[in-house]
Amino acid sequence: MLPKILRSPFIPMFSYLLILGFLFISMIGSENNQSLVRVCLLILMAFTLVWVSLIQLNNRKYPESKIKYLGAIPPEFREMDEGQQWVTYKACRSVYIYYSYALPLIVGLCFALSNIKFMTLLLLGVLGIGQYIIYWLSIRKFKQF
Protein backbone atom coordinates (compact mmCIF):
# COMPACT_ATOMS: atom_id res chain seq x y z
CA MET A 1 0.00 0.00 0.00
CA LEU A 2 2.80 2.42 0.95
CA PRO A 3 4.66 2.15 -2.40
CA LYS A 4 1.34 2.61 -4.21
CA ILE A 5 0.68 5.84 -2.30
CA LEU A 6 4.22 7.17 -2.75
CA ARG A 7 4.31 6.27 -6.44
CA SER A 8 0.89 7.78 -7.10
CA PRO A 9 0.85 10.76 -9.51
CA PHE A 10 -1.58 12.44 -7.11
CA ILE A 11 1.25 13.14 -4.64
CA PRO A 12 3.20 15.45 -7.01
CA MET A 13 -0.12 16.85 -8.22
CA PHE A 14 -1.07 17.75 -4.66
CA SER A 15 2.32 19.37 -3.95
CA TYR A 16 2.07 21.27 -7.26
CA LEU A 17 -1.36 22.55 -6.23
CA LEU A 18 -0.03 23.54 -2.80
CA ILE A 19 2.83 25.53 -4.37
CA LEU A 20 0.43 27.20 -6.81
CA GLY A 21 -1.99 27.97 -3.99
CA PHE A 22 0.83 29.41 -1.90
CA LEU A 23 2.00 31.63 -4.80
CA PHE A 24 -1.55 32.68 -5.61
CA ILE A 25 -2.37 33.69 -2.04
CA SER A 26 1.01 35.44 -1.64
CA MET A 27 0.46 37.46 -4.82
CA ILE A 28 -2.99 38.71 -3.84
CA GLY A 29 -1.17 41.15 -1.60
CA SER A 30 -3.88 42.09 0.90
CA GLU A 31 -2.96 42.36 4.60
CA ASN A 32 -5.82 40.04 5.60
CA ASN A 33 -4.35 37.10 3.76
CA GLN A 34 -1.05 37.06 5.70
CA SER A 35 -2.43 34.40 8.07
CA LEU A 36 -3.66 32.42 5.06
CA VAL A 37 -0.16 32.58 3.54
CA ARG A 38 1.27 31.24 6.81
CA VAL A 39 -1.30 28.43 6.94
CA CYS A 40 -0.50 27.51 3.33
CA LEU A 41 3.24 27.54 4.06
CA LEU A 42 2.67 25.37 7.14
CA ILE A 43 0.65 22.85 5.12
CA LEU A 44 3.43 22.79 2.51
CA MET A 45 6.08 22.17 5.18
CA ALA A 46 3.98 19.52 6.95
CA PHE A 47 3.31 17.80 3.64
CA THR A 48 7.05 17.74 2.82
CA LEU A 49 7.86 16.36 6.28
CA VAL A 50 5.23 13.59 6.00
CA TRP A 51 6.42 12.75 2.49
CA VAL A 52 10.08 12.47 3.56
CA SER A 53 9.11 10.32 6.58
CA LEU A 54 6.99 8.01 4.42
CA ILE A 55 9.85 7.61 1.92
CA GLN A 56 12.23 6.70 4.76
CA LEU A 57 9.72 4.13 6.01
CA ASN A 58 9.26 2.74 2.49
CA ASN A 59 13.03 2.48 1.92
CA ARG A 60 13.48 0.61 5.20
CA LYS A 61 10.56 -1.72 4.42
CA TYR A 62 11.36 -2.29 0.74
CA PRO A 63 15.15 -1.93 0.28
CA GLU A 64 14.90 -3.56 -3.19
CA SER A 65 12.78 -0.71 -4.56
CA LYS A 66 14.03 2.41 -2.85
CA ILE A 67 12.62 5.84 -3.69
CA LYS A 68 15.03 8.79 -3.96
CA TYR A 69 14.05 12.11 -2.37
CA LEU A 70 15.57 14.35 -5.00
CA GLY A 71 16.27 12.01 -7.90
CA ALA A 72 15.95 13.13 -11.51
CA ILE A 73 13.38 10.37 -12.08
CA PRO A 74 9.99 11.14 -10.51
CA PRO A 75 8.79 8.55 -7.94
CA GLU A 76 5.62 7.90 -9.95
CA PHE A 77 7.74 6.37 -12.74
CA ARG A 78 7.67 2.58 -12.55
CA GLU A 79 11.03 1.20 -13.56
CA MET A 80 11.30 -2.03 -11.57
CA ASP A 81 11.45 -4.21 -14.71
CA GLU A 82 10.83 -4.06 -18.46
CA GLY A 83 7.04 -4.46 -18.16
CA GLN A 84 6.83 -1.54 -15.74
CA GLN A 85 9.16 0.54 -17.92
CA TRP A 86 6.84 -0.13 -20.84
CA VAL A 87 3.84 1.11 -18.83
CA THR A 88 5.82 4.26 -17.95
CA TYR A 89 6.73 4.70 -21.63
CA LYS A 90 3.05 4.45 -22.66
CA ALA A 91 2.01 6.94 -19.98
CA CYS A 92 4.79 9.39 -20.94
CA ARG A 93 3.78 9.09 -24.59
CA SER A 94 0.20 10.03 -23.68
CA VAL A 95 1.45 13.00 -21.65
CA TYR A 96 3.62 14.14 -24.60
CA ILE A 97 0.60 13.98 -26.92
CA TYR A 98 -1.42 15.93 -24.34
CA TYR A 99 1.26 18.65 -24.21
CA SER A 100 1.51 18.93 -27.97
CA TYR A 101 -2.16 19.99 -28.01
CA ALA A 102 -2.43 21.71 -24.64
CA LEU A 103 0.65 23.99 -24.90
CA PRO A 104 -0.48 25.98 -27.99
CA LEU A 105 -3.97 26.20 -26.53
CA ILE A 106 -2.70 27.49 -23.17
CA VAL A 107 -0.37 30.00 -24.89
CA GLY A 108 -3.33 31.25 -26.94
CA LEU A 109 -5.51 31.55 -23.84
CA CYS A 110 -2.73 33.33 -21.92
CA PHE A 111 -2.51 35.86 -24.75
CA ALA A 112 -6.26 36.27 -25.17
CA LEU A 113 -6.99 36.54 -21.44
CA SER A 114 -3.87 38.47 -20.43
CA ASN A 115 -6.04 41.29 -19.03
CA ILE A 116 -7.38 38.98 -16.31
CA LYS A 117 -5.19 38.99 -13.19
CA PHE A 118 -3.50 35.69 -12.33
CA MET A 119 -4.81 34.04 -15.49
CA THR A 120 -1.32 32.81 -16.44
CA LEU A 121 -0.87 31.17 -13.04
CA LEU A 122 -4.34 29.63 -13.23
CA LEU A 123 -3.73 28.26 -16.73
CA LEU A 124 -0.35 26.86 -15.68
CA GLY A 125 -2.22 25.11 -12.86
CA VAL A 126 -4.71 23.61 -15.29
CA LEU A 127 -1.88 22.52 -17.61
CA GLY A 128 -0.02 20.78 -14.77
CA ILE A 129 -3.11 19.06 -13.36
CA GLY A 130 -3.88 17.79 -16.85
CA GLN A 131 -0.44 16.20 -17.04
CA TYR A 132 -0.92 14.24 -13.81
CA ILE A 133 -4.45 13.17 -14.73
CA ILE A 134 -3.35 11.94 -18.19
CA TYR A 135 -0.45 10.04 -16.59
CA TRP A 136 -2.75 8.46 -13.99
CA LEU A 137 -5.38 7.49 -16.60
CA SER A 138 -2.69 5.82 -18.75
CA ILE A 139 -1.28 3.86 -15.80
CA ARG A 140 -4.79 2.88 -14.69
CA LYS A 141 -5.57 1.54 -18.16
CA PHE A 142 -3.01 -1.20 -17.55
CA LYS A 143 -4.32 -1.77 -13.99
CA GLN A 144 -0.92 -0.84 -12.62
CA PHE A 145 -2.17 1.86 -10.33
Residue 79 DSSP code: -
Looking at the Cβ atoms of 91 and 123, the one nearer to another protein is: 91
Q: Report which DSSP code applies to 33.
A: G
Q: Considering only residues 69, 86, 96, 101, which one is a binding residue for another protein as defined by CB under 8 A?
A: 86
Interface positions, 87-126, toward another protein (CB under 8 A): 87
If we measure between CA atoms, which residue out of 134, 128, 133 comes closest to residue 103?
128
- Asked whether 139 and 79 are in contact (CB, 8 A), the reply is no
Question: Under a CB-based contact definition with an 8 Å cutoff, are residues 14 and 51 in contact?
Answer: no
Q: Which of 71, 83, 104, 108 binds another protein (CB under 8 A)?
A: 83
To another protein, the closest distance from the beta carbon of 134 in angstroms equals: 18
Which residues would be at the binding site for another protein (CB under 8 A)? 80-84, 86-87, 142-144
